[in-house]
Structure 1
Amino acid sequence: MTLTPEEISQNLLDAARKAGAEAADAIVIDGSSVSVEVRNGALEHAERSEGSDLGLRVFLGQRQAIVSSSDSRPETLTAMAERAVAMAREAPEDQFTGLADADQLANGWDVQALELFDASPEPTAEDLMRDALSAEEAAQAVQGVSQVSDAAAAYGTHRVHLAATNGFSGGYIRSSRSTSCVAISGEGTGMERDYDGDSRTFQSDLRSPTDIGRTAGERAVALVGAQKPATGTYPVLFDERISSSLIGHLMAASNGAAIARGASWLSDCLGQQVLPDNLSLIEDPHRQRISGSRPFDAEGLPTRQRAIVENGILTGWTLDLSSARKLGMTSTGNAARGVSGPPSPSNWNLGLTQGGRSRADLLRDMGTGLLVTSMIGSTINPNTGDYSRGASGFWVENGEITHPVNECTIAGNLRDMLKRIIPANDARTHLSRVVPSLLIEGMTLAGN
């Protein structure tokens, strides 16, 4: 008889108690996925996978140990528990580790309201292949596209269940459907590539593969003839496709684990201005049909909406139980984990205040500068916030795009950059990170 993730997690806890654990939690993740890739009108690769992963964390006083497996047979669960307890006996003490108190735990959540799972029929491999072929065909139809390096479609489900000896037990299931396409323009050393793709919880929300393929092709063709820009100080407009990376750097610096280690350029900024005073950054883990939504975190605490930055002011850190205890604070319900490691702080859905002007308005007003549509590499100093990244995109003269550019580096300091961002109003609201195009004036650009 096949056991459910809930039954497996409870069996793991029973095995841990029998092995001598004083406390324990167990996480079970199972799922299935099917993916298809095509090339030149024919199937290139198809893959289907199904499997379960189990993680057990045990405590002996202030000592903890974690073991994982993909085997849920009773004898394996017993062996996992015994091994974990033996490891915990040899582990160093950690005064900040431990499960949540019973009064901290989530209860009464409504998973159905979050719409994390699409109950419509699972697509067949043939359905996915048709999508991939349609995307490839649409990209190839764009004049100037020399080849399509990759067109793919995929579908998957993901079920998770968490249980602990403090009384918590809860789980949910997700689904996802995606289509992507990578197109190449030009020949030889003049080749350029770009992509487009979409991933949704509900299949009916997915953009058409034809639109995805055509957009990938048009983006690739637009890059033909790219050249290095001039070196100097210019305004830089981060396209909506990549602007969320800037907010990602802010989130990394406000992560409780980094703060507790003393490795963050934001360490002294709590309660201070980090964004323009007309902007707020809201975390909302309860948005419907969004990949970052969840009713509780990986320690069984309730998730909640919070303003990480309110009217430009940093209001708090992103905390799990351990980092909160280290800092003398309370967890924000942001623990995430896999089966083989302990929880750590992580952000859910994020939304930055959108501006009142379009991207075209910002381009017009920036005069001469760089529109960045792609970035590679990253040199970020976590202690100072010094920022340097390779970039490509389009050169702007007198508010108009003139030609594509590549092989340049943009640099600045995140502490200063983020205080000067000017948002457009073009953020895609179905993404987990809703961040519009962002203009930053006076950045250092290294090209020719």
Structure 2
Amino acid sequence: MNNTPAQDGTGFSYSRTDFEELVDFALEHARKLGATDAGAEASEGCGLSVSVRKGEMETVERNRDKSLGITVYVGSQRGNASTSDFSRPAIERTVQAAYDIARFTAQDPVAGLPEPEDIAPPEAHPDLDLFHPWAITSEQAAELALRCERAAFDTDARITNSEGAGVSAQQSHFFSAHTHGFRGGYASSRHSISVAPIAGKGEEMQRDAWYSSMRSAPELASPEVVGRYAAERALARLRSRKISTRECPVLFESPLAAGLLGGYVQATSGGALYRKSTFLVDSLGKQVFADHIDVLEDPFVRRGKGSAPFDEEGVRTKPRKVVDGGRVEGYFLSSYSARKLGMKTTGNAGGSHNLTLASRRTQPGDDLPEMLRKLGTGLFVIELMGQGINYVTGDYSRGASGFWVENGEIAYPVQEITIAGNLKDMLMGIEAVGADVYNYGAKTVGSILINRMKVAGS
């Protein structure tokens, strides 16, 4: 087996063929031990992360990791084990450990591999253009990070400090197979540049941050653009004040709006549903958003951050409408959670794939200034703190910072406030979604205007 770094520019130490041999060896050993079913995955990741602060190099980190995981079924009993040692004896010991765990684990009648008819056949694995290795040296990465931070400092003399800037280049690949006939794997990459400048001095200091993240390095925003925008965000927060407690409309900036969509996904995911630990239990076919809201899922977006030809179980993925006119059209289910609910898997083992939340009311001109005009008088939120969401009840309470808006214009920055409501009311209370679309990980959404929330201040 090839244990030296590949010479094709990927930086990987193992080839796809190497991984297939490792996985097949693990599955064959599981069969010899008496497993009724088994699945295995071999993976490898490597990358470079560089950080600078105030014009000086801070850290250079190179990461390289590998793993082989094996899941063994003995009837309806399941065991799992993993190793970072790819030698044959180590793999045999790992498979034995998984088998032993399975033999002494309680019976679970819904445990098992996905049904054969749900598995993505090899010919149905589209190339989604997810792998773009970045052959960057630590010196080159440091220069990009320094340019980014320098641009922030050069924006205004009131940028007095920095929490640093960073550049990251990461890539990985895997191969997975199981005894119900699935075989597949692919390589992917994710690169980023970020900075966190500080404006003002003493008690008046304000920080903000910005970043750019892409599969392909040439698609990243320039270091200067990232640095200047982060600085402008920090400067806009100077002279922040508290406001009195009130109820008012709230506009969530698009990156935060993606978090609201993430909350919905968590509330309609299999584990929460079968445990009945969600405020959206039994919501299929019911109205949970305002009637102008649609949510689409598309796993096949080229270079998409949430793209995948199959899910973590090898189940085929497919584009679908998750929410149609505010009504729930589908959950996010793995094979296990689907069986617990008496339903079919939706190909979401491992999470959602490229979700887009849109409003049928949105017009091309609904940029941020227009969304502020729609807000009228209320709160524009650009930062949230804490994890104050109770998914059982839907109660929502988060620390927040942003801007008070009067008559559609930003009046002044605000801080040290709390916004509160209930996610059920918030989703139904969406009045508008902006055309200022932002991609945050696997979620794409514009700013979101909610009709009314409680704002606790001084």
Specify the TM-score bucket, using the shorter chain as the normaliser.
over 0.9
Task: Give the match's secondary structure for 2:308.
Answer: coil
Q: Match of 1:317, as an amino acid?
A: Y
Q: 1:268-417 counterparts in 2 under 5 A?
A: 268-336=282-350, 346-354=351-359, 355-356=362-363, 357-417=366-426
C-alpha contact (below 8 Å) 1:111/1:172 kept by paired residues? no
Cα distance, 1:365 vs structure 2: 2.7
After superposing the two structures, state which structure 1 stretch, 122-131 or 370-379, moved more.
122-131
Deviations 1:288-309 (A, max 9, x none): 1111100011111101111110
Deviations 1:79-133 (A, max 9, x none): 00111111111101111110123222101456563110115x5122222111101
Task: Give the match's secondary structure for 2:454.
Answer: strand
User: 1:125 and 2:138 equivalent?
Assistant: yes
User: 1:445 and 2:455 equivalent?
Assistant: yes
Q: 1:60-71 counterparts in 2 under 5 A?
A: 60-71=74-85
Cα distance, 1:189 vs structure 2: 2.2
Give the corresponding residue for 2:7: none
C-alpha contact (below 8 Å) 2:122/2:184 kept by paired residues? no
Q: Match of 1:400, as an amino acid?
A: E
Give the corresponding residue for 1:225: 239
**Aligned partners of 2:235, 2:413: CA distance in 1, in Å?**
10
Give the corresponding residue for 2:149: 136
Cα distance, 1:17 vs structure 2: 1.7
Deviations 1:393-442 (A, max 9, x none): 11111211111111111111111110121211111358521111000122
1:183 to 183, 187, 197: 197
**Aligned partners of 1:327, 1:440: CA distance in 2, in Å?**
32
C-alpha contact (below 8 Å) 2:189/2:215 kept by paired residues? yes
Deviations 1:183-211 (A, max 9, x none): 11122222211001011001111100110
Q: Match of 2:155, as an amino acid?
A: V
Deviations 1:279-326 (A, max 9, x none): 210011110111110001111110111111011110121110011101
Give the corresponding residue for 1:342: none
Q: 1:183 to 1:110 in 2, by over 3 A?
A: farther
**Aligned partners of 2:227, 2:186: CA distance in 1, in Å?**
33
Deviations 1:22-51 (A, max 9, x none): 211011221111011112222110011112
**Aligned partners of 2:420, 2:169: CA distance in 1, in Å?**
39
Deviations 1:129-159 (A, max 9, x none): 1110110100111211111211000101110
Q: 1:111 to 1:38 in 2, by over 3 A?
A: farther
Q: Match of 2:29, as an amino acid?
A: A
Deviations 1:359-382 (A, max 9, x none): 211211322211000000122222
Give the corresponding residue for 2:6: none
Query: How well do the aligned residues superpose, as a CA RMSD in angstroms?
Result: 1.4
* Identity %, equivalent residues: 39
**Aligned partners of 1:430, 1:420: CA distance in 2, in Å?**
22
Give the corresponding residue for 1:25: 39
User: 1:423 and 2:436 equivalent?
Assistant: no
**Aligned partners of 2:199, 2:276: CA distance in 1, in Å?**
46
Q: Match of 1:324, as an amino acid?
A: A
Deviations 1:243-270 (A, max 9, x none): 1111111111101111100111011322
C-alpha contact (below 8 Å) 2:46/2:64 kept by paired residues? yes
C-alpha contact (below 8 Å) 1:5/1:30 kept by paired residues? no
Structure 1 runs of 4+ aligned residues shifted over 3 Å read 108-113
C-alpha contact (below 8 Å) 2:332/2:346 kept by paired residues? yes
